[in-house]
A and B are shown apart, each in its own frame.
Chain A
Amino acid sequence: MAETVFAPWDDPEQKPLIRFRNVTKRFGDFTAIDDLTLDIFEQEFFALLGPSGCGKTTMMRMLAGFENPTSGAIELAGQDIAGIPPNKRAVNMMFQSYALFPHLSIWDNIAFGLRRESSDKAAIASRVEEMLKLTRLEKFARRKPHQISGGQRQRVALARSLAKAPKLLLLDEPLGALDAKLREATQFELMDIQEKTGTTFVIVTHDQEEAMTVASRVAVMDEGRVMQVATPQRIYEAPNSSYVADFIGDVTLIEGTARARAQAPEAPNTAVPQSSAPRGPSPNALGVWLHDKVLAPVIGTRTDTQLQLPPPDKSDTTLSVLSRDIPEGGIDIAWSDSQPPLIALDADAALDGAQVTLALRPEKVSISKTRPDGAVNALKGTVIDIAYLGNLSTYHVELAGGVMIKAQTANTRRVSRREITWEDEVWVSWSGTAGVVLST
């Protein structure tokens, strides 16, 4: 197979493995899942991302069979799975608490599911060994769960849920209990195992970085609804709402009114004006008298020939605002009475007149002491705060109107040589395509 990009969601021929169709789940008065429709494809690593209480865990529990939808249908491989109990589904789950059986050894924990469906001891043993090898736990097979570390427990839980080779593996905050360093290593391990086994993974997490790292697609959820489903790149670079933009990563949101920019901005008219009928002055009697008696002796008599300005020179057509060489198209966003409008070149001109939000990623905003040449958007402000992250620094710059903009720079120099510090007057600037214009 050639190097094809894994993107079954773009292929209308592909049949989804899981299909949520208008699924609603209510607990009493509380609506956990609100009319949700979603397709998940085979071999995907799908992340459900959202704050706690957004319904992501409920979705997972419905897939596992611990909850049933109030209305709507969930299909697994084309079959409606409502009413099928958890022990009859080809779905396994890795629990947030790992839920390892404390009275059983690691080996028996992994064999637990296998023993339920077969009594072939040799087959079970070889499958358990295979799982132990996959998760590099061979040495710990005889230990009890409380005798191994958190990271090892996490791998046991993974091995146990993979042992039955489910069509779909659900991971509920699988890395929540691990420390940052181990979490990062485990993320790559998870991706590796997912690739090796070819199992479809659905992961629930509130950690956007984790979701972005591991997932082929991310669904950002809020209050029981899916806000956006897309690849991590698209979610980050092209969020479809200010909620998604704000939830994923760091962002500055500026609200304003859109105004379509002219398609050919201030195209100078270089044609010689053609006057159809010469319009000379036609003074009345009093005017003639005034001219002849008063003005003519002082400034000379008038001529009847028409004076004309010379046609504009091609080299002289640039207006002052165009000295920055801004391409045409896009919109202006009027956001402050005292500041120039912001320019978003790749926004849809049809937004003309609408209330919009400009989402700016800090790493796409530059900061400098002097006004940068050629920047499409440049605003003056004061540094209020500097968040030093080691490799990066985020500057919080307050503009004249009180709006805060975050700008991020890589710390390529030592901190002591940093030229921008607190209370400095700085310019923040970004290109015409750096921001994402959101209408909701």
Chain B
Amino acid sequence: MRRRLLIAVPYVWLLALFLIPFAVVFKISLSDIALAIPPYTPTAKDGIWNMLTGLDFENFVFLSEDDLYWKAYLSSLQIAFISTLLTLCVGYPMAYAMARAPEQWRPTLLMLVILPFWTSFLIRVYAWVGILSGEGFLNQFLLWIGVISTPLTILNTNTAVYIGIVYTYLPFMILPIYSALDRLDGSLIEAAEDLGCSRIKAFWLVTIPLSKNGIIAGCFLVFIPALGEFVIPSLLGGSGTLMIGKVLFEEFFSNRDWPVASAVAVILLLILIIPIVLFQRNEQRQAEAEK
């Protein structure tokens, strides 16, 4: 009895906090927009049978017909993909340097990576507005050292979105890679050199394959939240930045079209399931390999 109760806890958790909300969102996505509170129809007030018969896939059909949504999804995927690659390029050398740093420095370096989490995410993104704007610190600094003569337009472009995503999600990239590199036995690199590899060759043939799991984990941890990101594109991006998170926000709050917004969210979730399943697979494989 006690054992069952213990097992039940995570299932109840999952049911209450994931499956029920998802079912609600899914139901709304099948409803029609209405000028009411809540702003959709049918609801449970119409009776269970009427509610169920009143549901249809109209909104999903609408999403597939309007190319705005397709473009938003594709553009989100593109931005998430590029920023994941950028984060990897910035994060890998940092993780590598941390793992190669003297033993007594590593906790401090790890602390520094996690430190930004101690302030609000929103405030940190706002800080970037101050840095990247036309009269921002970056432009003033560049003007002062004489690299440029007119301020660069960075804010409200995709570049600013990339900078924002890379900055925000960097720790999620660094930590799994660091943990993979930290476990890497230094004698493997020596063995590779002993067997005729140059330093660079040994890095490609040994270090990279052995930190592969960390790289994959880091990439998913950045890619998954970046795909549905709303705050960064809406604060740093311009009107040209088309991301699904922003579209969802507009449908929900500006158009008050809850059913279409829900449909957008359901499709986003379906898109995300693929990388999430791949990520879980990777984690599982890694756990097996370590046995």
For the complex of A and B, 5 pairs with smallest distance between CB atoms = A113-B195, A116-B196, A99-B191, A99-B187, A103-B209
List B182-216 residues whose CB lies under 8 Å from chain A: 185, 187-188, 190-198, 201, 205-206, 209-210, 212
List A95-140 residues whose CB lies under 8 Å from chain B: 95-97, 99, 101-103, 112-113, 116-117
Once the chains are docked, how many angstroms separate the CA of A97 from the CA of B189?
Answer: 12
B36 CB-CB contact with A under 8 Å: no
Contacts of B191 in A (CB 8 A): 93, 95, 99, 101
Tell whether, in the assembled complex, residue A164 and residue B195 are in contact, meaning their CB atoms are under 8 Å apart. Answer: yes
A117 nearest in chain B by CB position: B196
A103 nearest in chain B by CB position: B209
Query: Residue B194 contacts which of A93, A101, A103, A117 (CB distance < 8 angstroms)?
Result: A93
Tell whether, in the assembled complex, residue A116 and residue B190 are in contact, meaning their CB atoms are under 8 Å apart. Answer: no
Tell whether, in the assembled complex, residue A87 and residue B187 are in contact, meaning their CB atoms are under 8 Å apart. Answer: no
Interface string of B278-289 (1 = CB under 8 A from A): 000000000001
Contacts of A113 in B (CB 8 A): 195-196
| Min C-beta distance of A112 to chain B, whole Å | 5
Contacts of B196 in A (CB 8 A): 87, 113, 116-117, 164
A92 CB-CB contact with B under 8 Å: yes
Task: Write 29 A-B pairs (CB below 8 A) sorted by A numbering.
Answer: A66-B190, A85-B198, A86-B194, A87-B196, A87-B198, A91-B194, A92-B194, A93-B190, A95-B190, A96-B187, A99-B188, A99-B190, A99-B191, A101-B191, A101-B192, A102-B210, A112-B192, A112-B195, A113-B195, A113-B196, A116-B195, A116-B201, A117-B196, A146-B291, A160-B195, A161-B194, A161-B195, A164-B195, A164-B196
Contacts of A101 in B (CB 8 A): 188, 191-192, 206, 210
List A49-95 residues whose CB lies under 8 Å from chain B: 64-66, 85-87, 91-93, 95
Once the chains are docked, how many angstroms separate the CA of A65 from the CA of B193?
Answer: 10
Contacts of A93 in B (CB 8 A): 190-191, 194
Contacts of B210 in A (CB 8 A): 101-103
A172 nearest in chain B by CB position: B187
Chain B contact residues (Cβ within 8 angstroms of A): what range?
Answer: 20 to 34
Contacts of B194 in A (CB 8 A): 64-65, 86-87, 91-93, 161
Contacts of A97 in B (CB 8 A): 185, 187
Give me the interface of B with A, judged by CB distance under 8 Å: 185, 187-188, 190-198, 201, 205-206, 209-210, 212, 289, 291
Contacts of A99 in B (CB 8 A): 185, 187-188, 190-191
Once the chains are docked, how many angstroms separate the CA of A113 from the CA of B212?
Answer: 22
Contacts of B190 in A (CB 8 A): 64, 66, 86, 93, 95, 99
Contacts of A85 in B (CB 8 A): 193, 198
Interface string of A343-379 (1 = CB under 8 A from B): 0000000000000000000000000000000000000
| Min C-beta distance of B48 to chain A, whole Å | 56
The winner among B191, B195, B209, B289 for most chain A CB atoms within 10 A is B195
Once the chains are docked, how many angstroms separate the CA of A91 from the CA of B196?
Answer: 10
Once the chains are docked, how many angstroms separate the CA of A288 from the CA of B191?
Answer: 107
Once the chains are docked, how many angstroms separate the CA of A20 from the CA of B61?
Answer: 81
Once the chains are docked, how many angstroms separate the CA of A115 from the CA of B206?
Answer: 14
| Min C-beta distance of A163 to chain B, whole Å | 8
Contacts of A95 in B (CB 8 A): 187, 190-191
A116 nearest in chain B by CB position: B196
| Min C-beta distance of A21 to chain B, whole Å | 24
Once the chains are docked, how many angstroms separate the CA of A142 from the CA of B275?
Answer: 30
Tell whether, in the assembled complex, residue A92 and residue B195 are in contact, meaning their CB atoms are under 8 Å apart. Answer: yes
A104 nearest in chain B by CB position: B209
Contacts of B195 in A (CB 8 A): 87, 92, 112-113, 116, 160-161, 164
Once the chains are docked, how many angstroms separate the CA of A101 from the CA of B198?
Answer: 16
Contacts of A103 in B (CB 8 A): 209-210, 212
Contacts of A102 in B (CB 8 A): 210, 289
Contacts of A116 in B (CB 8 A): 195-197, 201
| Min C-beta distance of A174 to chain B, whole Å | 13
Contacts of A92 in B (CB 8 A): 194-195
B202 nearest in chain A by CB position: A87
Once the chains are docked, how many angstroms separate the CA of A211 from the CA of B196?
Answer: 29
Contacts of B188 in A (CB 8 A): 99, 101
Once the chains are docked, how many angstroms separate the CA of A256 from the CA of B210?
Answer: 61
Once the chains are docked, how many angstroms separate the CA of A146 from the CA of B210?
Answer: 14
B289 nearest in chain A by CB position: A146
Once the chains are docked, how many angstroms separate the CA of A85 from the CA of B198?
Answer: 9
Once the chains are docked, how many angstroms separate the CA of A202 from the CA of B240?
Answer: 68
Once the chains are docked, how many angstroms separate the CA of A95 from the CA of B194?
Answer: 10
Given A85-B198, A99-B190, A161-B194, 18 more pairs with CB closer than 8 A: A64-B194, A66-B190, A86-B190, A86-B193, A87-B198, A93-B191, A97-B185, A99-B191, A101-B191, A101-B192, A101-B210, A102-B289, A103-B209, A103-B212, A112-B205, A117-B196, A146-B289, A160-B195
| Min C-beta distance of A367 to chain B, whole Å | 48
Q: A93-B191, A99-B187 are in contact. Are A87 and B197 (CB under 8 A)?
A: yes
Contacts of A65 in B (CB 8 A): 194
Contacts of B289 in A (CB 8 A): 102, 146
| Min C-beta distance of B119 to chain A, whole Å | 39
Contacts of B201 in A (CB 8 A): 116
B209 nearest in chain A by CB position: A103
List A147-167 residues whose CB lies under 8 Å from chain B: 160-161, 164
Once the chains are docked, how many angstroms separate the CA of A117 from the CA of B195?
Answer: 9
Contacts of B193 in A (CB 8 A): 66, 85-87
